[in-house]
C-alpha cells in the first residue's frame, strides 16, 4: 500500500487526504494546529475565522458525493452582499443565477450605472468562461495550453491593461468592481484586467450560506469551519491518521538521477514521518523553506485583520461591505505597509456570531498593536452598523502568519499577468512531492483549494483529473 504524507489539514490537505485514502493509500496528515481547517480554524474553535463567502457550491457538493458524505445544505444569499457607502447610499445586488434576472439590481442604479453594470458583468462572464478550461478546472497549464489560450482568448483578457482602467464606472461602482480582486489577495490598483473574472463568480453564479447537511436538521452546523471539521471527521473514519500539533521543520530529500530528486521524510517536532509520496498543502513558501530553497521573489499579497464577534441576539445570515470614504487612499496606506485609518469594513452575520474583516498588509509585526486597532475597528463598525456585540476576539496578520508566510492569505500577489498565473503543483525536480492549496493553481478560496488538493494528490497517484463538477455553462 502506498504511504502518503499530507502536510496541512486546511481544505486542500483534507481534499488531498480524502482522495489518496479513497484510492487505497495509507495516509497520514501532519498538522501544526490542534484541529483541521487551516485559515478557517484560528481563534475560537466554534467559529470560522476566515472564509465566509461560500461560492461554487457545486464543487463542495461533488466532493461530498465522491467521498460518500451527504451533500451540504446551501441557502442562497439574497442579496449577495449589501454595499454601503460613506454618504449613506446602499447597493444590494442579486446574483443572476439566483434571481433569474437583473431587474432588482438595475433598479438601484442610474441609467448610466446600469448600462455599465451590464457591460462589465458580461465582460466578467466572458473572462470567466474563457479562463475555465485552462486556469480553473484543469491541471496547471502547460506551455502549449497557455499558448492556445493566448491565441484563442488572450486578447479578450486585455493583456497589458490594468483592472483599474477596465472598471472605471463612476464614484460608487468603481470601488465595487475593484474589490473583487482582493479575493485573490491583490491590490486592486495593481491587478491585471483579467482578474475582473472573479466578480462573475459572485454576481453571476451566486453566493451561498452553508447550513447543515442533507438529512440533518438545518442549523446543525454552519459555516466553512464546520465543513472542515466534518471532512476531517469523515477522513478519520475512512482511516486517515491525523497528527495534530505536529509542525514540519524540514523535508529530507536526495538526488536520485540528474534533474530528479525524491523526498524521503518529514522531520517534525514530534518525530520523523517517512512515506512514498508527499503532498504539501501548506503555504508554498513554507514548503520551499523545508526543502532549503529560498521563498518566491514575488511580493506577498494581502493579509487580513479580523474580529470574531459574539452577539447577544441572533441576526439573519448576511454579508455587508461598508466602503471607506476614499478607496484609493485606503490602498495607498495598505501599499505603504500600514493598517488603514479609514478601512473598508467587511461583515458576515450568521445568527449570534459575526466575522468582521478589513484588508491588511502582510506584516505580522502589526499584531503588536492588535487590541488597540481592534477597538478602533469596533468603534467604526458601531458608527455605521450598530451590533449587539457581547464578546470579541481579534486575529491580526500575526495570527494569519501562523498558517501563511507573512500572513499573506493567498501567497504571492497576483499583480501583472505573470503574477496572476498561479504556480503549478510541482516544485522543481521533486518527483514524489506536490504542492497544493490556496497559494498555487488554480487559486485561493475554499472551492479552488479543494480542487487543488483533490487533483494535486490525484496527479501524484496517477488518477485522472476530476473537475469536481465545477466546469459549467455559467
Ligand atoms: C480572513 C480570511 C477571509 C477569507 N475569506 C474567504 C471567503 O470568504 N471565501 C473563500 O472561499 N475563501 C476565503 N478565504 C480564503 C480561504 O480561507 C483559503 O484560500 C483556504 O482556506 C486555503 O486553504 P488551504 O488548505 O490551501 O490552506 P490553509 O488553510 O492555510 O491550510 C494550510 C495548513 O497547513 C498547516 N501548516 C502550515 N505550516 C505547517 C507546518 N510547518 N507543519 C504542519 N502543518 C503546517 C497550517 O496550520 C494549516 O492548517 C479567506 C481567508 C482568510 C484568512
Per-residue pLDDT of 203-233, as tens digits, reads 999 999 998 887 776 655 678 999 999 999 9
Rounded distance, CA 8 to CA 128, Å?
29
**Atom of ligand 1 lying closest to residue 404 CA:** 30
Domain annotation covers residue 60: no
Domain annotation covers residue 250: yes
Confidence band of 159 (pLDDT split at 50, 70, 90): confident
Domain annotation covers residue 117: yes
Domain annotation covers residue 323: yes
* Count of Cβ atoms closer than 10 Å to residue 293 Cβ: 12
pLDDT over 70, % of the chain = 98
| CA 436–ligand 1 middle distance (angstroms) | 11
Average pLDDT score over residue span 142-169? 91
* Whether the predicted pLDDT of 160 surpasses 90: no
| CA 37–ligand 1 middle distance (angstroms) | 7
Q: Please state the separation of Cα 62 from the chain's center in Å.
A: 18
Nearest CA-CA partner of 260 in 423, 425, 426: 426
In degrees, rounded to 5, the angle at the alpha carbon of residue 26 between the alpha carbons of residues 22 and 28 is: 105
Write down the pLDDT at residue 47.
Answer: 83
* Whether 103 and 201 share a structural domain: yes
Protein residue with least CA distance to atom 34, ligand 1? 8
**Atom of ligand 1 lying closest to residue 12 CA:** 25
Write down the pLDDT at residue 468.
Answer: 97
* Whether 400 and 272 share a structural domain: no
Q: Is the CB of 440 under 6 A from ligand 1?
A: no
SS3 284: helix
* Whether 13 and 89 share a structural domain: no
CB proximity list for 380: less than 8 A, separation 6 or greater: 342, 343, 345
SS3 459: helix
Rounded distance, CA 153 to CA 146, Å?
10
Q: Is the CB of 408 under 6 A from ligand 1?
A: no
pLDDT tens profile 21-60: 999 999 999 999 999 999 999 999 888 889 999 999 999 9
Domain annotation covers residue 63: no
Q: Is the CB of 449 under 6 A from ligand 1?
A: yes
| Most ligand 1 atoms within 8 A of CB, residue of 9, 10, 345, 456 to mutate | 10
| CA 431–ligand 1 middle distance (angstroms) | 25
Domain annotation covers residue 213: no
Write down the pLDDT at residue 344.
Answer: 98
Of 363, 388, 407, at which residue does a domain stop? 407
Does residue 300 contact residue 61 with C-beta atoms inside 8 Å? no
In terms of C-beta density within 10 A (0-12 exposed, 13-18 middle, 19 or more buried), how is residue 234 classed? middle
Q: Given its phi and psi angles, is residue 271 left (phi above 0), alpha (psi -120 to 50 degrees) or beta?
A: left
* Count of Cβ atoms closer than 10 Å to residue 255 Cβ: 10
* Whether 286 and 424 share a structural domain: yes
* Count of Cβ atoms closer than 10 Å to residue 400 Cβ: 27
* Whether 82 and 190 share a structural domain: yes
* Count of Cβ atoms closer than 10 Å to residue 126 Cβ: 16
Cell numbers found for residue 182: 482582493
Confidence band of 61 (pLDDT split at 50, 70, 90): very high
Domains held by the chain: number: 3
| Most ligand 1 atoms within 8 A of CB, residue of 5, 6, 7, 8 to mutate | 8
H-run or E-run covering 368: none
* Whether 289 and 421 share a structural domain: yes
* Whether 200 and 82 share a structural domain: yes
Does residue 451 contact residue 137 with C-beta atoms inside 8 Å? yes
Q: Is the CB of 397 under 6 A from ligand 1?
A: no
**Which pTM value belongs to this model?**
0.97
* Whether the predicted pLDDT of 329 surpasses 70: yes
* Whether 452 and 319 share a structural domain: no
| CA 269–ligand 1 middle distance (angstroms) | 21
Rounded distance, CA 416 to CA 160, Å?
8
**Atom of ligand 1 lying closest to residue 446 CA:** 11
Alpha helices of 167-321 — where are they, by DSSP H?
A: 170-178, 198-200, 223-238, 284-290
| CA 239–ligand 1 middle distance (angstroms) | 23
pLDDT tens profile 251-285: 999 999 999 999 999 999 999 999 999 999 999 99
* Whether 290 and 426 share a structural domain: yes
Rounded distance, CA 83 to CA 90, Å?
5
Domain annotation covers residue 270: yes
| CA 403–ligand 1 middle distance (angstroms) | 7
Write down the pLDDT at residue 48.
Answer: 80
Domain that holds residue 271: 3-44+221-297+416-461
Of 206, 236, 259, at which residue does a domain stop? 206
Write down the pLDDT at residue 21.
Answer: 98
SS3 325: coil
* Count of Cβ atoms closer than 10 Å to residue 37 Cβ: 28
Sign for the pseudo-dihedral over CA of 463, 464, 469, 471: positive
Rounded distance, CA 422 to CA 411, Å?
9
| Most ligand 1 atoms within 8 A of CB, residue of 50, 284, 394, 450 to mutate | 50
Does residue 320 contact residue 81 with C-beta atoms inside 8 Å? yes
Rounded distance, CA 8 to CA 169, Å?
42
CATH number at residue 431: 3.50.50.60
* Whether 196 and 97 share a structural domain: yes
pLDDT tens profile 383-406: 999 999 999 999 999 999 999 999
In terms of C-beta density within 10 A (0-12 exposed, 13-18 middle, 19 or more buried), how is residue 348 classed? buried
Rounded distance, CA 373 to CA 396, Å?
9
| CA 39–ligand 1 middle distance (angstroms) | 3
Q: Is the CB of 409 under 6 A from ligand 1?
A: yes
Rounded distance, CA 4 to CA 17, Å?
8
Protein residue with least CA distance to atom 14, ligand 1? 51
* Whether 384 and 426 share a structural domain: no
pLDDT over 90, % of the chain = 91
Write down the pLDDT at residue 218.
Answer: 60
* Count of Cβ atoms closer than 10 Å to residue 357 Cβ: 21
| CA 424–ligand 1 middle distance (angstroms) | 18
* Whether 423 and 450 share a structural domain: yes
Does residue 447 contact residue 70 with C-beta atoms inside 8 Å? no
Domain annotation covers residue 422: yes
| CA 42–ligand 1 middle distance (angstroms) | 10
Cell numbers found for residue 413: 500577489
Q: What Rg, from alpha-carbon coordinates, does the chain have?
A: 21
Amino acid at each position: 500500500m502506498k504511504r502518503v504524507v499530507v502536510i496541512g489539514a486546511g481544505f486542500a490537505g483534507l481534499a488531498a487526504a480524502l482522495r489518496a485514502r479513497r484510492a487505497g493509500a495509507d495516509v497520514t496528515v501532519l498538522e501544526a494546529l490542534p484541529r483541521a481547517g487551516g485559515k478557517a480554524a484560528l481563534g475560537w474553535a466554534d467559529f470560522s475565522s476566515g472564509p465566509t463567502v461560500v461560492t461554487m457550491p457545486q464543487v463542495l457538493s461533488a466532493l461530498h458525493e465522491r467521498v460518500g458524505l451527504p451533500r451540504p445544505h446551501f441557502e442562497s444569499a439574497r442579496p449577495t452582499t449589501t454595499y454601503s457607502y460613506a454618504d449613506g447610499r446602499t447597493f444590494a445586488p442579486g446574483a443572476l443565477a439566483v434571481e433569474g434576472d437583473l431587474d432588482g439590481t438595475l433598479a438601484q442604479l442610474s441609467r448610466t450605472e446600469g448600462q455599465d453594470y451590464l457591460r462589465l458583468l458580461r465582460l466578467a462572464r466572458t473572462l470567466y468562461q474563457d479562463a475555465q478550461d485552462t486556469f480553473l478546472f484543469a491541471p496547471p497549464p502547460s506551455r502549449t495550453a497557455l499558448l492556445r489560450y493566448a491565441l484563442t482568448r488572450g486578447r479578450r483578457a486585455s493583456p497589458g491593461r490594468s483592472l483599474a482602467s477596465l472598471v472605471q464606472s463612476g464614484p460608487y461602482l468603481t470601488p465595487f468592481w475593484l474589490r473583487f480582486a482582493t479575493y485573490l489577495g491583490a491590490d486592486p490598483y495593481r491587478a491585471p484586467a483579467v482578474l475582473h473574472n472573479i466578480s462573475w463568480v459572485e454576481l453571476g453564479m451566486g453566493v451561498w450560506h452553508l447550513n447543515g447537511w442533507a438529512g440533518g436538521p438545518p442549523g446543525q452546523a454552519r459555516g466553512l469551519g464546520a465543513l472542515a471539521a466534518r471532512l476531517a471527521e469523515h477522513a478519520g473514519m475512512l482511516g486517515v491518521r491525523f497528527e495534530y500539533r505536529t509542525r514540519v521543520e524540514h523535508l529530507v530529500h536526495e538526488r536520485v538521477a540528474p534533474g530528479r530528486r525524491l523526498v524521503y521524510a518529514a522531520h517534525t517536532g514530534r518525530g520523523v514521518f517517512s512515506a512514498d509520496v508527499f503532498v504539501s498543502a501548506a503555504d508554498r513558501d513554507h514548503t520551499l523553506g523545508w526543502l532549503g530553497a529560498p521563498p518566491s521573489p514575488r511580493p506577498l499579497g494581502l493579509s487580513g485583520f479580523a474580529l470574531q464577534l459574539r452577539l447577544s441576539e441572533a441576526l439573519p445570515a448576511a454579508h455587508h461591505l461598508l466602503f471607506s470614504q476614499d478607496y484609493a487612499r485606503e490602498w495607498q496606506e495598505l501599499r505603504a505597509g500600514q493598517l488603514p485609518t479609514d478601512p473598508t469594513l467587511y461583515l458576515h452575520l450568521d445568527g449570534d456570531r459575526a466575522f468582521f474583516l478589513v484588508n491588511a498588509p502582510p506584516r505580522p509585526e502589526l499584531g503588536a498593536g492588535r487590541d488597540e486597532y481592534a477597538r478602533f475597528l469596533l468603534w467604526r463598525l458601531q458608527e455605521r452598523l450598530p451590533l449587539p456585540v457581547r464578546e470579541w476576539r481579534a486575529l491580526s496578520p500575526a495570527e494569519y502568519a501562523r498558517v501563511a508566510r507573512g500572513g499573506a492569505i493567498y501567497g504571492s500577489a497576483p499583480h501583472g499577468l505573470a503574477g496572476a498565473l498561479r504556480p503549478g503543483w510541482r516544485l522543481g525536480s521533486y518527483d514524489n512531492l506536490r504542492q497544493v492549496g490556496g497559494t498555487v493553481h488554480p487559486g485561493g478560496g475554499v472551492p479552488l483549494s479543494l480542487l487543488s488538493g483533490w487533483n494535486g494528490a490525484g496527479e501524484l497517484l496517477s488518477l485522472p483529473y476530476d473537475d469536481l463538477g465545477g466546469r459549467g455553462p455559467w
